[in-house]
Structure 1
Amino acid sequence: MSERSRRDGRRRLEPGARTAILDRIAALQPKPASPSPAGPAPAETDDTTRALRAAVLGEDEVRLPQLHDLWGSLRQIPVNEAVLESNLVITASRRDPAHTAFDLLRTRLLQALDEHGWKRVAITSPTRGCGKTFTAANLAIALSRYENRRTVLLDLDLRAPGLAEVLGAPAPGPIADWLRGATSSSTQLQRVGQNLLGIGGLAVGLNDRSETYAAELLQDPKTAAVLDQMQEEIAPDAVLFDLPPALSQDDVTAFRSRYDCVLMVVGGGHNSAEQIREAVRRIGEDKPILGMILNRAEEDHASGSG
C-alpha cells in the first residue's frame, strides 16, 4: 500500500488485480440492445456498470492506481568519479575503508524502514558544519547499490542548498518551484546514469538557489501534495531529505509532519550536549531518532554545505 493510500484511507489495487476485475466486469456487463423504433433505450448501461463495479470492488467509486511509472523516463546525469572523490563521497569508489560504516548504516536503516513501513527519512544536524549533506550523499549512494530498490535524495536545505556541488551535478532549477507545483517531477528529478561504480537506483532532486520563505514552503499543504504525488509516480523505497540544521531556523520543525524518522548528524568536537538535546526536543518525541551519527571528519570540505 502506498504512502498516499495510507493517508487518505483509500484502498489501492495492484495492476494485476485491476485487470482481473475489469475483465470480470466486461464479462458481466449486458450487451447493448438494438435501437428501438420508439426511441433510445433507457440509459441503464452506465448505472449497471457502476453497480457492477461497486459490487465487485466493494466501493462506491473505482479508484485506480497510478499506472505511469516515471522512473525510466527521468533524465540521467553522468557520474564524475573525480568530483565525488574530491568531495569525500567515499561510498562511490569504495576505496576508503570508511565506506563500510555507511554500508552498516544503510542496512540498519532499511531494516527499520521495512519493519515499520516507513519511507521518508530526515537527515539533519544541530548546527551547520556537522556534515549532514556529506552523510546524506554517501548514504544515498550506499542505498542505491541494493538491486530492485529505488532511493530518492532531495536537497531541502532551502536556505543553503549544497547537494548539487557535492555530487558534481547541475540542478535543473529551483526546487521551490517543484514544491509549489510549478514544475513536474519529471523536470526536477534526475536519475544517476550508467556508471562503472555500481551506483544504481538513485534519483536526486537538486536545487540551484536559496529560498527566503523556506519554513512556510516546507509547511505548505501543496508541498505535502507534491511529495505524495512523487511517491505515486516514482514509487521509491526510501526518500532521504537533506534538511537544514535543526537549531538554525524553524524549517525542520515546520516540515516534521512530512517525514517518518530522523538521522541526526553530530559534529565531533563541534556540538555540545545541550545543542544535541535541544535539537532532539525541537524534532519532537513522536519522531523516532534512528541514529546519532558522529562525524569526525576534520577537513572543511568533508562537511559539505551542512
Structure 2
Amino acid sequence: MGQAQMKDGNTRGSRRRLAPEARTEMLDRIAALEAPATQPDATTPQPDPATRALRAAVLGEGEVRLPQLHDLWGNLRRIPVNEALLEANLVITASRRDPAHAAFDLLRTRLLQALDEHGWKRVAITSPTRGCGKTFTAANLAVALSRYENRRTVLLDLDLRAPGLAQVLGTPAPGPIAEWLRGGTSTGTQLQRVGQNPLGIGGLAVGLNDHAETYPAELLQDPKAAAVLDQLQEELSPDAVLFDLPPALNHDDVTAFRDRYDCVLMVVGSGRNSADQVREAVRRIGEDKPIIGMILNRAEEERASGTG
C-alpha cells in the first residue's frame, strides 16, 4: 500500500505538478464540494480539512503534506509455530499429514470463490451449540487460507464468553481482546502474525484472547467495536477475516454481531445437533445473512478438539 501516484507534470523543486486536464477535473470536484455562497453565514457548510488540503495541493498553496497510508502487516509481532503442539491440538492443515486436511483445502477454495464473487471479506464461524468443533474448524480453515500467496487472512477469537483459540494455537494472548474492541489497545498490539516456518503457513494474523468478557453481546454490538474492525480493515488490508464466534443458540452474541459480518459458516456436530437446532440457529442469524457452508463435524473430531 502507499500513496496513489498522480500524473507526472512539470517538476519544480521537489513538488510534482498535475497534468492540466487532471488539475481542471480536481478543481471542479473541489468547487462542488465547497459549494460557496456569495455571503456565507453560520449555516453555510464549510469545506472540511481534507478538502482544504486537497485544494492547497492542487493549487500549490504552501507546503502541504497529504495523509500517508501505513500498512501495519509487516510490523506485526511474529509468533513461532510449534508443529508438534498444533498436531496435538488437531490443527491438521498445519503438517498436512492427516488426509482430512484435503476437506479443508476444498472448503478454502469454495469460500474464496464465494468471497471473490460477492465482494465479501468477513466470515462468521459459529455452531448451534457448544462442542461442535467450530474453533477447530476456524483454526484449520485459517491455516489453509494462509497458504495462498499474496492473500492475507485474519482470525479473531470473538467467542468472548469462552475464548479458546490461544490454547489451540499454543500462543499466549497479548491481553484481553475486549480492550482492543473498545479502542483501548491498538491493532499492532493486539494482533500477531505467524512467523516464518517450515510448514508453509504464510499470510496469517491472529487476534487472541485470554479473558472472558462479562457483557459480550453489548460489546459486540457497540459502534466502537465496529469502528475498530473497520480500522483493522484499513490498517492490514486482509482478504478474509474469520470470526470465531459463540454458538448461535446459547446466547444472543451472534445476533448482536450480525451487522459486522458478511456471511456464515455453520459447524454442525454429528450426532449432537438436531435438525430443529440447526434451523433455529439459521433463523436467529437471519435470512439476509447467507449461510455459505454447513460443515458436518465428525464425532471423533468433536471429542478430540475439546473446544468450540
Smaller-chain TM-score bracket: 0.7 to 0.9
- 2:14 aligned with 1:27: no
Show the counterpart of 1:177. 179
Structure 1: how far apart are the matches of 2:307 and 2:69?
38
Corresponding letter in the other structure for 2:81: V
Kindly indicate whether the alpha-carbon contact (under 8 Å) linking 1:131 and 1:302 is maintained by their aligned counterparts in 2: no
Q: Residues 101 and 59 of structure 1: is their aligned pair in 2 closer, same or farther, counting only changes over 3 Å?
A: farther
2:28 to 47, 51, 55: 55
Show the counterpart of 1:210. 212
Kindly indicate whether the alpha-carbon contact (under 8 Å) linking 2:149 and 2:203 is maintained by their aligned counterparts in 1: yes
Corresponding letter in the other structure for 2:119: G
1:189 to 188, 191, 204: 191
- Structure 2: unaligned runs, 5 residues or longer: 34-50, 55-65
Mapping of 1:39-188 within 5 angstroms? Answer: 53-55=26-28, 60=33, 61=51, 67-188=69-190
Displacement of 1:291: 0.6
Superposed CA deviations along residues 214-243 of structure 1, whole A, max 9, x for unmatched, are: 000000000000000000000000000000
2:265 to 231, 241, 263: 263
Q: Residues 28 and 249 of structure 1: is their aligned pair in 2 closer, same or farther, counting only changes over 3 Å?
A: closer
SS in 2 for 1:216: helix
Kindly indicate whether the alpha-carbon contact (under 8 Å) linking 2:128 and 2:267 is maintained by their aligned counterparts in 1: yes
- Cα RMSD, aligned residues only: 2.4
Displacement of 1:19: 3.6
Corresponding letter in the other structure for 2:202: G
Q: Residues 104 and 180 of structure 1: is their aligned pair in 2 closer, same or farther, counting only changes over 3 Å?
A: same
Corresponding letter in the other structure for 2:105: D
Superposed CA deviations along residues 53-81 of structure 1, whole A, max 9, x for unmatched, are: 44367863268776100000000000000
Structure 2: how far apart are the matches of 1:296 and 1:58?
63
Displacement of 1:298: 1.4
- Structure 1: unaligned runs, 5 residues or longer: 1-13, 30-49
SS in 1 for 2:109: helix
Q: Residues 104 and 213 of structure 1: is their aligned pair in 2 closer, same or farther, counting only changes over 3 Å?
A: same
Structure 2: how far apart are the matches of 1:96 and 1:230?
34
Corresponding letter in the other structure for 2:237: A
Superposition TM-score, scaled by structure 1 size:
0.83
Structure 1: how far apart are the matches of 2:295 and 2:240?
19
Superposed CA deviations along residues 191-231 of structure 1, whole A, max 9, x for unmatched, are: 00000000000000000010011000000000000000000
Kindly indicate whether the alpha-carbon contact (under 8 Å) linking 1:166 and 1:304 is maintained by their aligned counterparts in 2: no
Structure 2: how far apart are the matches of 1:58 and 1:17?
22
Matched positions, count: 273
**Structure 1 residues 108-117 or 50-59, which shifts more?**
50-59
